[in-house]
Chains A and B, each alone.
Chain A
Amino acid sequence: MTIDLTRRAAISCALALTALPVSAQETWPTEPLRVFVGFPAGSSPDVLARIITDPLAERLGQPVVVENRPGAGGVIGVQQMLASAGNGHTFGTTINGPLTTAQRMLESTGYDVAEDIAPVTLIATSPLVLAVSSDAEMTDLESFVAAAGAEEEALAYGSVGQGSGAHLTAELFSDEAGVSMLHIPFTSYAEVTTSIMGGEIDAGFMAPSAALPFVESGNMRMLGITSAEPFPQAPDVPVIAGQAGLPDDFRAELWNAFMAPGDTDPAVIDRLNTEITQILEDPEVQQKLLAIGWQAAPGTPAEMEERIATDTQMWGAVIDRVEAQ
């Protein structure tokens, strides 16, 4: 998967030669952009990518083709982006997993985040909500922590898979709250929801958009949210930080970001960052993102790099504890 040095050198030489007369920034893009998404068409990360790529195509004056390469929690998308890289018109969007925890969860991802990935900008973030059945006796975070702490594995929670954001968030929460819950992995929020409603499991950390319809219908209740501020889509749900003995800086967010292969021309990255940041400032775009559960979070490439580093460290520590159990 890693392109060997000589080929990479040859490519950058070739690029440098063709770019000699005018600077890359003025001529780029010269052909349609390909944006790899590691999730299937119609999934939340795919819809999110398309919300960005449509206006992006208009601004750049070139078509932007979304290429869905689903698999391995988004890792395949990153790999395929890197495999098709080399012409300066190949990019990708990804959720946080492939850039932060995948290196720890998988035998081999075939890429090195620091080497092979050039951050462009964060697109949006999403907190998770702690949801329980509306039949449950737990009505707030205090009573939840009390119930969970009654004995080891008194409560069972569902996640969307070993090492998923939902799983690691729950483990972080348990650790900070000093409780131990039983982890039941599922493959989708739909399964977690059914299981909570059927009374098989007690709780789950879920994407707000997955939980909200069932809260509105009276099947589920949300006890807390993992962001620092209340989430616009569910303003009544209290933040977890600072409650029920949890630290004030308790925070766990998923994010979605725009990335480029590591050898992309910095001028191109700057241009993309400017365009996408401006797109994300459009209230209509922000509204569209919120409707699918994401809050726009534009920033600089450096900020994204920073976020990758801090999250890799934070989740790495959680994984260490899970593995030690």
Chain B
Amino acid sequence: MRRDWPDIWGGLVLAALGAAALGWTLVHYDLGSLRRMGPGFFPATLGALLAVLGLVVALPAWRRTGASVPVHPLAALAVLASVVIFGLGLSRLGLVAATALSVLIATLPAPFAGWGWRIALTVIVPALTVVIFSFGLQMTLPLWPRLP
């Protein structure tokens, strides 16, 4: 039997998160009293609740069949890397270079061969970005790499 793995894993991860939040709260924050609820009261309650709900999601799923879910680790890696690189690069590389780099990385996992469209995008998107955000919206963004 193919079990309902998404619900099992999802439920367990949430339960673990809830338990972690509960533990961290109990160690670090004061629960207080009813009159003066401390900063720990809410997160502790919510952590416990999430732990229970996670189990309620996960356990029945064990006895149930579920559909398989296609996972794309490469796509996720490239997209997230593109976002991170844009974030880290913006202030140092400037808008143009950060955008170009980020676009190039984002296009890597797309299932289309050839470099033509990729290179075209690394030119078009930075140009669009500069026009819309820097000139149009007047956001103060460094355009070019900052020399040390």
Give CA–CA (A65, B141) in the complex, Å. Answer: 12
Measured between beta carbons, the chain A residues less than 8 angstroms from B140 are 34, 65, 67
Complex CA–CA separation, A34 to B140 (angstroms)? 10
Report B102-148 residues with CB < 8 Å from chain A CB.
140
The count of A-to-B residue pairs whose CB atoms sit within 8 angstroms is 3
Interface residues of A in 60-87 (CB under 8 A from B): 65, 67
Closest to A66 in B: B140
Residue of A nearest to B36 (CB): A182
Count how many chain A residues have C-beta atoms less than 8 Å from C-beta atoms of the other chain: 3
Shortest distance between the CB of B37 and any CB in chain A (Å) = 13
CA distance A34 to B142 in the complex (A): 12
- For chain A, residues 20 to 63, give those with C-beta under 8 angstroms from any C-beta of chain B: 34
Give Cα A124–Cα B140 distance, bound, in whole angstroms.
27
Interface size of B by Cβ–Cβ distance < 8 Å?
Answer: 1
Interface of A, secondary structure class, is strand
**Mask: chain B, 66-83; 1 = CB below 8 Å from A; 0 = not:** 000000000000000000
CB contacts under 8 Å to A, within B29-88, are: none
Closest chain A CB from B89 CB (angstroms): 15
Distance to closest chain B CB from A109 (angstroms): 20
Chain B residue at minimum C-beta to C-beta distance from A65: B140
Inter-chain contacts of A67 with B (CB < 8 A): 140
Measured CA separation A34–B141 after assembly (Å): 12
Bound Cα distance from A67 to B140, whole angstroms: 8
How far, in whole Å, are A172 and B140 apart by their CA atoms in the complex?
Answer: 42
With A and B bound together, what is the CA distance between A67 and B139 in angstroms?
Answer: 10
Question: Which partner residue on chain B sits nearest A182 by CB separation?
Answer: B36
- Distance of A34 Cα from B91 Cα, bound (Å): 15
A65 to B138, CA, bound (A): 11
CB distance from A175 to the nearest CB of B (A): 20
**CB neighbours of A65 from chain B (8 A):** 140
Tell me, in angstroms, the Cα distance from A67 to B91 when the chains sit together.
Answer: 14
Cβ proximity bits A230-244 to B, threshold 8 Å, 1 near / 0 not: 000000000000000
Q: How far in angstroms is the closest Cβ of chain B from A316?
A: 22
Minimal Cβ-Cβ distance residue in B for A87:
B146
Report how far A80 CA is from B101 CA in the complex, Å. 25
* A67, B142: Cα distance in complex, Å: 13
- A101: min CB distance to chain B, Å: 19
Residue of A nearest to B142 (CB): A84
The distance from the CB of A277 to the nearest CB of chain B, in whole angstroms, is 27
- From residue B67, how far is it (CB to closest CB) to chain A in Å? 43
B residues 8-36 near A (Cβ < 8 Å) are none
The residue in chain B whose Cβ has the minimal distance to the Cβ of A83 is B91
Residues of chain B within 8 A of A34, CB atoms compared: 140
Smallest CB-CB A-B distances: 3 pairs: A65-B140, A67-B140, A34-B140
| A interface residues with partner B (beta carbon < 8 Å) | 34, 65, 67
